[in-house]
């Protein structure tokens, strides 16, 4: 049964590839569109566009690393010559369930921002069409691989590009939720007998003052080292948390030199409940 569960992501990938290759359309519960933070663009000046996702109640899509099931949302650009698209800046993930299997993804309304850099030789007054193909997996009561050709047209201007008032707050909140490394907490990670043990300690006065308010901690793996479907054990000692997790049986050996991912707590890592997520990239000690 465990091997079947582990192979479900591969099966989902094959299904998604089949639908994309054949052009066979299926009804998909996810609403997805390409939106822009600005209403016009300037030659050579980077700006943001994003995949705007709206999940029906009870459905989810997947984060950049999904867990042992699912397919991450992706955008395959077909940009004009001289344009550059950066990867998705992934907002903090959520715990989702594909049937009874714990995974890493998103619910509700979500924006996945991407920075676009136009060439410097654009002519003001022109209209530029940006297009590409989005791919995703939307799961709830059932699982639905999807793909869609998306595009957006924007005028070129030699003046500063104004923000789209309807979208500006959404872009700002999405970028703000991208997890960053923190100097307020120190994390040490060791490996033994198929488990990874994280010791999480407050180091600044602000973090130490907030330590007692933190009740739960979840780790989201960025490379699949940890199996999110396995139980996590969190203990709280004198001035530290100890989070014990299981190494995924599907992770390719050898083990990495670093553990990378997101530590998340609903109580937030500092006062006022912010940030809820911090990114770690720390040495794995044996």
Same domain, 254 and 163: no
Last residue of one domain, picked from the residues 118, 153, 176: 176
- The reported pLDDT for the residue numbered 26 is 54
Task: Phi first, then psi: give them for residue 239, nearest 5 degrees.
Answer: 80, 20
Last residue of one domain, picked from the residues 176, 207, 225: 176
Same domain, 73 and 149: yes
CATH number where 90 lies: 2.60.40.10
Characterize the bridge pairing of strands 277-285 and 185-192.
parallel
- The reported pLDDT for the residue numbered 151 is 98
Same domain, 206 and 227: yes
- The reported pLDDT for the residue numbered 14 is 44
Same domain, 114 and 157: yes
Task: For residue 50, give its domain range.
Answer: 2-176
Same domain, 26 and 100: yes
Residue length, the chain? 286
Report DSSP state, residue 23: -
Same domain, 137 and 249: no
Same domain, 159 and 31: yes
The number of domains in the chain is: 2
Q: Are 30 and 143 in contact (CB under 8 A)?
A: no
Last residue of one domain, picked from the residues 132, 156, 176: 176
- The reported pLDDT for the residue numbered 4 is 36
Which parts of the chain have pLDDT scores under 50? 1-11, 13-25
CATH number where 253 lies: 2.60.40
Same domain, 160 and 189: no
Same domain, 163 and 203: no
- Tokens for 246? 């299981």
Per-residue pLDDT reduced to its tens digit, 34-91:
999 999 999 999 999 999 999 999 999 999 999 999 999 999 999 989 999 999 999 9
Contacts of 217 (CB under 8 A, 6+ apart): 200, 234, 241, 243, 263, 264, 265
Look at residues 112, 31, 96, 127 and name the one whose alpha carbon lies nearest to residue 229.
96
Same domain, 221 and 154: no
Same domain, 143 and 39: yes
């Amino acid at each position: 049964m465990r091997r079947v569960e582990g192979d479900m992501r591969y099966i989902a990938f094959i299904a998604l590839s089949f639908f994309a290759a054949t052009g066979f359309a299926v009804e998909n519960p996810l609403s997805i569109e390409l939106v822009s933070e600005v209403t016009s663009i300037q030659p050579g000046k980077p700006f943001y566009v994003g995949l705007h996702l709206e999940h029906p109640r009870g459905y989810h899509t997947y984060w950049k690393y999904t867990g042992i099931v699912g397919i991450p949302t992706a955008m395959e650009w077909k940009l004009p010559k001289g344009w550059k698209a950066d990867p998705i800046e992934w907002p903090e993930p959520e715990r989702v369930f594909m049937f009874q299997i714990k995974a890493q993804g998103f619910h509700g309304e979500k924006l996945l921002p991407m920075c676009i850099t136009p060439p410097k030789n654009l002519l003001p007054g022109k209209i530029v069409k940006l297009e590409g193909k989005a791919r995703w997996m939307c799961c709830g009561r059932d699982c639905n691989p999807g793909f869609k050709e998306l595009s957006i047209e924007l005028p070129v201007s030699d003046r500063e590009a104004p923000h789209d008032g309807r979208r500006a707050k959404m872009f700002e909140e999405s970028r703000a939720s991208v997890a960053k490394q923190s100097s307020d907490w120190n994390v040490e990670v060791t490996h033994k007998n198929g488990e990874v043990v994280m010791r999480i300690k407050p180091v600044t006065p602000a973090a130490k003052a907030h330590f007692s308010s933190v009740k739960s901690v979840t780790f989201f793996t960025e490379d699949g080292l940890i199996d999110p479907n396995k139980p996590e054990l969190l203990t709280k000692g004198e001035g530290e948390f100890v989070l014990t997790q299981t190494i995924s049986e599907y992770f390719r050996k050898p083990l990495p030199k670093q553990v990378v991912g997101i530590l998340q707590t609903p109580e937030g890592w500092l006062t006022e409940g912010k940030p809820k997520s911090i990114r770690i990239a720390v040495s794995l000690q044996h």
